[in-house]
Structure 1
Amino acid sequence: MKNLVNAAGLIGQNRNPGVEGESSTKDITFPRPTLANSVAGLTNRSDQVFGIYARISAWGHEHTKSDAYSAAVIQVSNDQGAEYNAIRAGLHTLPSLYKDTKLHLRTGTGERAATTRTARGSCRSKTPTLGYPGMVVEALSSYNQTDSSMILQIVKDERPGIGGDWWLYRVAGPVRFPLGRWPASLFGSLSRHATEAAWYGAVGSARRGGAPPAMGSGHGPGEGYTRAAYFADISLMDRTAYPVYPSLGSVAAVASDERCYKVAMDAGGGNTFFYGGPVSRFCA
């Protein structure tokens, strides 16, 4: 899988090789150089992607240390060789940014370009009472008891006269609440469409020898609902913003460190997969 980047969503880069199947390095964003970074999830490549959707299980990470992070992310990206753009949103715990270990709604962008164009910090909130980047997610899942989740959608508005901006929505039942947008003018290749979608968990630590925190629920994906973290109803958006379920044959699973974090499709279908794993010294 290429370009699962900027997993922490902050400014600052560290060249870090190692995602399985990736021939080049990737940019990892963290307040300090990231010594440990792992991802686990699914990716889907296509000629034209206009959005991504998922129901993301919400798990807290109250034991995350100040120099670490744990995240669950949806992402669209476009890689045109010298130029790479990405937009992402999801849930994460990042004490160095928020000064707490609570779960927060996050947004971010990534880029690799010959120009000076930048899209960092560009999701502009429209409905702060319904949600906004940085908000605390209060409803959390608890092991073998409570299943809490949040539905997020990133979609490019292709209606005539709108301008083709990318929008972030929170979905509740039949209603979509716009949380903000990324103006198309901020991007190069991504101003037209995306070519890859990804749903993944990410963890990292900036301390040498420090083990990354738990990913997802902190339990392996084989434990299933109410025990393992998941992405459910994963889908792509076509040009009309209509959801299209990717066939399981068109998605690729990625686990950059299978000693610690794994991915498993839900045997019951529904375009759902489980992911994650516990804190382990083998991941440091």
Structure 2
Amino acid sequence: MRPSCHPGDMHHESHITHHPINQTWHLNGKCPENTIPIRRIKEEDVLRASSMTRYGTKRTGSIPNNNSIDNPETPNVLRGHQHTVASAQVDKCYGTKISINLWQPMISRANDFSLTQLWIIGGSYSGNDLNTIEAGWQVYPHFYSDNNPRLFIYWTSDAYKTTGCYNLLCSGFVQTNNQIAIGGSISSIFSTYGGTQYDFDILVWKDPEGGNWWLQVGSIDVGYWPSSIFSYLADSASSVMWGGEVFSPDAGQTSTRMGSGHFPKEGFGKASHMKNIQLVDSSNYLRPPNDLQLVTEQPHCCNVRNGISDDWGTYIYYGGPGKNPYCP
């Protein structure tokens, strides 16, 4: 129930300050050894879902497709999703690590959501065999009944058709730690515009011995996705993405914010960021990605920029306000 080893870190981080993740439920006690915290599902949570079979699952269009990667002007917004991401295409990849900036974006209507995440991907974007592992934070009032940012995970092995779910709402992810509640609210210490910035680390990697995909949040090994639930990801990933996503039934016209709600050009303390973006190679070492491709479907609504520095390694700024005078 533990990974055989952790990836070796190739990036120098002596000047980087990381904040441990704190969750609201920590104020009320802790779970005993050999148990795990599970967010309670209430009747009203299920009643808000469109159907029992779709409860806890993502809508299709939750990932940029081949068209939007090859041609950023091709929108996914017809299906309600906007993405601003950095993408790395690789022959074989075994995980990724990021330091993720935490915000509480404004949601304009309860059915909207805003999230920041990583995607580990195998298979075809256009077929039914897409495999993904996903982790990050999201604000999703319709699903959680509040506007708090929450730690979340997701997976699918058939392009979101019948497999996979959020958090622990179906069989798949195996939690092994009693300190982190997946789907739990993150304590009200958020980044503020022009003020203090809060980040936390997420690492997902394929254990070279056991073959399972492990999740680490901060310094805590939370659990794993068994390789047996995947087809392509049973071996390795072929691409990785990092960035933001907004969903709305009227996607192009929503005022739901992505990240801080400000464009990347505003920079540190104002725009949302991810830093120390690294990939896990076949030798189980963390290395910076090469040749990042930036994908944005409506650049006047939300956008993304990338860069490299000594302190931050590979990083991106991303996000935006959604509906504005220049956003169609």
TM-score by length of 2: 0.71
**What does residue range 172-187 of structure 1 map to in structure 2 within 5 Å?**
176-187=219-230
Query: Alpha carbons of 1:181 and 1:13: their partners in 2 closer, same or farther (altered >3 Å)?
Result: same
Q: CA deviation at 1:109?
A: 1.3
Partner of 1:125: 175
Aligned residue type for 1:222: K
Counterpart secondary structure, 2:322: coil
Deviation at 1:14, TM superposition (A): 3.9
Match in the other structure for 2:141: 95
Amino acid paired to 1:94: Y
Match of 1:51 in 2: 95
* Unmatched runs of 5 consecutive residues or more in structure 2: 1-54
Residue 137 of structure 1: aligned partner: 186
Native 8 Å contact 1:70 1:214 kept in 2? yes
Shift in CA distance, 190/267, structure 1 to aligned 2, threshold 3 Å: closer
- Aligned-partner Cα distance in 2 for 1:211–1:146: 28
Q: 1:151 aligns with which of 193, 197, 201?
A: 201
- After superposition, the C-alpha distances for 1:70-118 in whole angstroms (9 at most, x for unaligned) are 00011111115652201010010011110000000010013337xx983
Question: Separation in 2 of the partners of 1:178 and 1:245?
Answer: 22
Q: What residue is the counterpart of 2:158 in the other structure?
A: 112
Partners of 1:237 and 1:133 in 2: CA distance: 23
CA change 1:95–1:219 in 2 (3 A) is same
2:292 equivalent to 1:251:
yes
The aligned amino acid for 2:181 is Y
RMSD value, Cα: 2.8
Please tell me whether the aligned partners of residues 61 and 102 of structure 1 are also in contact (alpha carbons under 8 angstroms).
Answer: no
Provide closer, same or farther for how the CA distance between residues 215 and 46 of structure 1 changes in structure 2, counting only shifts above 3 A.
same
User: Could you tell me how far apart the structure 1 residues matched to 2:99 and 2:215 are?
Assistant: 14
- State which of 81, 85, 98 in structure 2 corresponds to 1:41: 85
Which AA in structure 2 matches 1:96?
A: H
Number of aligned positions between the proteins: 258
Q: Any conservation in 1 of the 2:80–2:248 contact (CA below 8 Å)? A: yes
Look up the equivalent residue of 2:184 and give its one-letter code: M
Render the CA deviation track for 1:159-216: whole Å, top value 9, x for unaligned. Answer: 2xx2x01111013xxxx31112111110011111101011010001125885151011
- Does structure 1 residue 60 correspond to structure 2 residue 104? yes
Confirm or deny: 8 A CA contact 2:157 2:229 kept in the other structure.
no
Partner of 2:234: 191
Contact 1:53 1:235 in 2 (8 A): yes
- What amino acid does structure 2 have at the position aligned with 1:92? Q
**Equivalent position SS for 1:97:** helix
The structure that has the greater radius of gyration is 2
Aligned to 2:248: 205
Change over 3 Å in CA distance of 1:117–1:69 after alignment to 2: closer
- The reply to whether residue 235 of structure 1 matches residue 278 of structure 2 is yes
Identity of aligned residues (%): 24
Instruction: Give yes or no for contact 1:165–1:181 (8 Å, CA) kept in 2.
Output: yes
